[in-house]
Each structure stands twice: as C-alpha cells, then as structure tokens.
Structure 1
Amino acid sequence: MTTRVFTSPLFLGFDHLEQMIERAAKNSSDGYPPYNIEQLSPVSLRITLAVAGFTMDDLQITLEDNQLVIRGRQTDEGHGRVFLHRGIAARQFQRAFVIAEGIEVKGAWLDNGLLHVDLVRPVPQPVVKTIPIVRGQGKVPAPTRTVDGD
C-alpha cells in the first residue's frame, strides 16, 4: 500500500523520501534482534543490537542506497557437540535502518554479545545561491554559490 505524504505541488523532488518511508515501514515488522538507538551528541548516534551467540565472522554490515543493512548468519556446525536440549537457535536475521543522506558510518564493534554501530551526521554549511535572471529565452547561466557568513 502506497501512502502519499508529499501531495502538495510545492514539494518538488521529495519522491525519494516517500520511498524511504515505505522501506522503513516494511522493515519494522520483525522484532529480532532487539536493538537500541542512542543519541550520543547532537551529531552522533549509536545503534546497538543484541546479537548473543554471533561472532564477527557471522555478521555483515553494508550501506545500500541510504539503507544500513545488518545481517547475521550463524553456521549450524555442531563442531562435534551433542545437544541434549537446544534452546538457543542459530537464527539468521537481517535488520535494515533507513538513514538520511550525509550520515556517515564511523565504525562498528562487537562487545559481550552487543553489536555497536556509530553514526555521525556532519553539520552542513549553509549555502546561499544567487540565481541570475536573463532576458528572453537565452542560455541560462549557472547559479553562483557562496557559503553563508563568508
């Protein structure tokens, strides 16, 4: 089901935002693995996933079209072990987070069954563009860019 958010003709070029919202709605249905999102500072975030039983080799993190995708796949090799009861399943997962343009993944680490992924949102510099007005249907000159405050 498609939900149109930016229906006003004044919102130009926001189609990609609607697609991101739809992707996020699809990805939010499964609750495994559980996760936290922390704001560490005004420009940094941390996603923490509970991935007990997974090793670094079992986990993969990729950035695909403004989507941070974290996959976990445990190999179900017994390594000679015989289970009398197996309550901890070797369950695979895929957890995706839609992130805004400009957000950078700074790093990830695994510690005591928790996978931490740090993100940073650089502070954008305000940009002012001057658009020249020309007479008639002549060639349109390129806009000039200046950084606000310079």
Structure 2
Amino acid sequence: MRNLVIGNLPQNRRSLNLGEYAEDATLVMEEQPTKEKRPLFIEANTMEATLDHLKSDCIIPVFAKDNEATLSHVAFIETVQDAARTFFQGEQIELPDIRVSHVIKGRIPEAIHKPANQLLESDKTIYYERCAFVIEIPTIY
C-alpha cells in the first residue's frame, strides 16, 4: 500500500507536530466500593461462629431417654449448603453466616469429679442451644 499512487494528487506527506499541545495523561480509576457486611438477622445476644468451630470445638448432644445422637448444627448446615449448590447449580453460593447463642458448657466423662479450677481446656465441652445461619446467593436477586 505504500507504493500506491493515486492520480494527480500531491505525494508529499505532512507531519503535524502536535507535541506543543499535548499534556501528560492522568488516569482516573474508579474504585469499586467495598461491600459492607450488613447483618442479615438480629444479632442481639448472639455470637458469630464458623463451621470449623462447630465441627472441632462443639459436642453433639444426645436424647436422654435412649442416648441417640441428635442432628448436629454442622450436619444441618452442610446439608442445606449441599442442597443449595445442587438446586442453584452455576450460581455463586457464599459461605454461611452463622450466629449462635445460649452456650451449654460441659465436661468430658473423665473430668466429672474435678473441681472447676482444675479443669484443663481438653476437659471442657461446649454446645450451643441455638444456632441460626444464612447462606447468601448474590447472583440471584
């Protein structure tokens, strides 16, 4: 294309020196607003908890009459998570926001007769009487 000659048009090239009009460019970047974590339910007398805490630090209570295990908080939350992932396949499913309250403290059987001031951390057990959780699916609104 450089050797293309068109009819009787002048073949001299002019270069415009616009450098005197040029300025340094200033990039303006719009910052994405940080998503503020807002409470999704009443937080009154509850504490935030994680699935790991519920799995590793909490016991599973049993029914007194027959010593059968109850449904643990972790098992219920994980079942709902699995159901949400299956039902809302392809959507973004966030980690659960978990709140607990009404802690019930206990002891392992070997520490039943120890005075409270001699209990080791490994002798103590905890269970939360109440547990609430929310699983957000932000891609659905």
TM-score, normalised relative to structure 1: 0.21
Instruction: Name the one with the larger helix percent.
Output: 2
Q: Larger radius of gyration, structure 1 or 2?
A: 2
Q: Which has the higher strand share?
A: 1
Higher relative contact order (CA 8 A, sep 6+): 2
